[in-house]
Structure 1
Amino acid sequence: MENPSQVYAALGLTHVGPGLSGKDAEPGLEAAHGHRVRELRVTGTAEVCCPADRASLRFRVSSSKESVSEATSSVSRRLEYIQQALRQHGVGEEDRSVRRFLHRDDDWYCLDVEVTVTFCDFDQMERVCGVLLEKLDKSVTVGTPRFFHSLECLSEMRQRSCTSAVENARRKADKACQVLGQILGTPLLVTEEATKEWKNEEEVEEEDGGLHLPRLPTITASSQVSVTFGLRGPSKKKL
């Protein structure tokens, strides 16, 4: 990710103004030539990839009867079984919602019910689908899962990207000090200069039968930081 021509490190001498007394300056940062603080500025980059941690799945049951009560009764039995299976597999009420749609089709009353469930455990989702398809068979329609990232997942990914970039900058500064014969001091300034995020939602084609299955989407976050460290020279030799 990092451009090979990018500056590895920059060494500078910053003038300390008259308003900064000796007790305010960091010990060991004053150079041999007057009031100048030696600094080492490096850049650090990092990328963090995060797969989706949530899946939304829809279950649909429907019925067409000569009366509203018959249609409602027919759907209610299957709906209750779906709700029961979800409870038994540890899916809370806050992770599921139910929508009903009643309409007329000629002389028939048609009732469609859709249950939308959010899963954070994909194995749990597979078990629920297996139970419902086995017990309800064709009387239930199971949709294709829609995978996505929670806000907590995205926030943690961005933080990890930034902190990893800072860690890389620190390691780079340590190596630079070994070459310069200096001792790395405390960080004086940390700036996040650039961030970027991109998605990967390609589909994978199965070899047998050409079936297209949704690939678990991932998001990659990159961060570039600039960190300025003070230097503590083991001797008063010129750099």
Structure 2
Amino acid sequence: MESPSRVYAALVPHAGAGPSGKDDDPGLEAAHSHRVRELRVTGTAEVRCPADKASLRVRVSSSKESVSEVTSSVSRRLEYILQALRQHGVGEEDVSVRRFLHRDEDGYGLDVEVVVTFGDFDEMERVCGVLLEKLDKSVCVGTPRFFHSPECLSEMRQRSCASAVENAQRKAHNACQVLGQSLGCPLLVTEQATKERKNGGEEEEEEEEDGGQGPTPARLPHLPTITASSQVSVTFGLRGPSRKKL
């Protein structure tokens, strides 16, 4: 909901005027006797943006009597995972692999973790389905973690500021119609305040509505959103009285 508009009209002396409001040079007094008329308004806007990226962790583990056996066992499953990612359009720059070889009581253990960044959530679901179907219990697919990319945050902030300026211009235009004035060009735009807040209260509200009755069903991964708000001050010049009567 938009906050009430705050509109200020100011008569500003010419840049060459002295403390009395007149030009310091008497010879210029007649040429610059009129004053610059301005209209200053504030505008606010909010833009809400859901997460555009997701990080998925896939883990493969094995224990064998020798290093070669455990490496061979994990490598086959790892190659299948990487192949499935390539087939679903995931680039190498979005995949990282970590290996941890350790000694067990009966031999050697090898843990491999594949971290994948997705921009297409539907594609991520398809990849999860393929891995769980083909590798079954030999692979552990974690819960995706959703987040906002720097590009997404930057675009959201720009949209918020631009919308606030548009709202300020709309208010100024409406004010000029009421005052019988004609709105001129913007003279100064100042961003006064910006805020960002994460929206994460949906899950808590659902839990309260549940009332704790019956078994708790498995919940889908929560898709976070961020709201960016912006407040700007815009100063417009006034071109003079409009011919339209009030």
The alignment's TM-score, normalised by the length of structure 1, stands at: 0.87
Distance between the aligned counterparts of 2:239 and 2:160, measured in 1?
29
Aligned to 1:213, what secondary structure does the other structure show?
Answer: coil
Paired position in structure 2 for 1:61: 60
Code of the aligned partner of 1:75: V
Aligned to 1:233, what secondary structure does the other structure show?
Answer: strand
Distance between the aligned counterparts of 1:105 and 1:235, measured in 2?
87
Q: 2:6 aligns with which of 5, 8, 24?
A: 8
Q: Structure 1 residue 105: deviation in Å?
A: 1.6
Q: Structure 1 residue 2: deviation in Å?
A: 5.1
1:87 and 1:235, CA in 2 relative to 1: closer, same or farther beyond 3 A?
closer
Query: Is 1:219 aligned to 2:226, yes or no?
Result: yes
1:168-187 equivalences under 5 Å are 168-187=167-186
Paired position in structure 2 for 1:23: none
Q: Say if 1:203 and 1:213, in contact at 8 Å, map to a contact too.
A: no
Paired position in structure 1 for 2:112: 113
Distance between the aligned counterparts of 2:2 and 2:193, measured in 1?
12
Unmatched segments (≥5 aa) in structure 2: 18-31
Paired position in structure 2 for 1:128: 127
Query: Is 1:189 aligned to 2:188, yes or no?
Result: yes
Distance between the aligned counterparts of 1:8 and 1:203, measured in 2?
34
Code of the aligned partner of 2:80: Y
1:162 and 1:235, CA in 2 relative to 1: closer, same or farther beyond 3 A?
closer
1:132 and 1:235, CA in 2 relative to 1: closer, same or farther beyond 3 A?
closer
1:121 and 1:235, CA in 2 relative to 1: closer, same or farther beyond 3 A?
closer
Distance between the aligned counterparts of 1:64 and 1:49, measured in 2?
47
1:235 and 1:61, CA in 2 relative to 1: closer, same or farther beyond 3 A?
closer
Distance between the aligned counterparts of 1:8 and 1:101, measured in 2?
62
1:146 and 1:229, CA in 2 relative to 1: closer, same or farther beyond 3 A?
same
Q: Structure 1 residue 153: deviation in Å?
A: 0.3
Paired position in structure 2 for 1:93: 92
Aligned to 2:223, what secondary structure does the other structure show?
Answer: coil
Unmatched segments (≥5 aa) in structure 1: 20-32
Q: Say if 2:182 and 2:242, in contact at 8 Å, map to a contact too.
A: no
Q: Say if 1:203 and 1:212, in contact at 8 Å, map to a contact too.
A: no
Distance between the aligned counterparts of 2:231 and 2:182, measured in 1?
24
Distance between the aligned counterparts of 1:139 and 1:13, measured in 2?
77
The alignment's TM-score, normalised by the length of structure 2, stands at: 0.85
Paired position in structure 1 for 2:153: 154
Greater helix share, structure number:
2
Aligned to 2:241, what secondary structure does the other structure show?
Answer: coil
Query: Aligned Cα RMSD in Å?
Result: 1.9
Q: Structure 1 residue 154: deviation in Å?
A: 0.3
**Which runs of structure 1 show a deviation greater than 3 angstroms over 4 or more consecutive aligned residues?**
1-4, 202-209
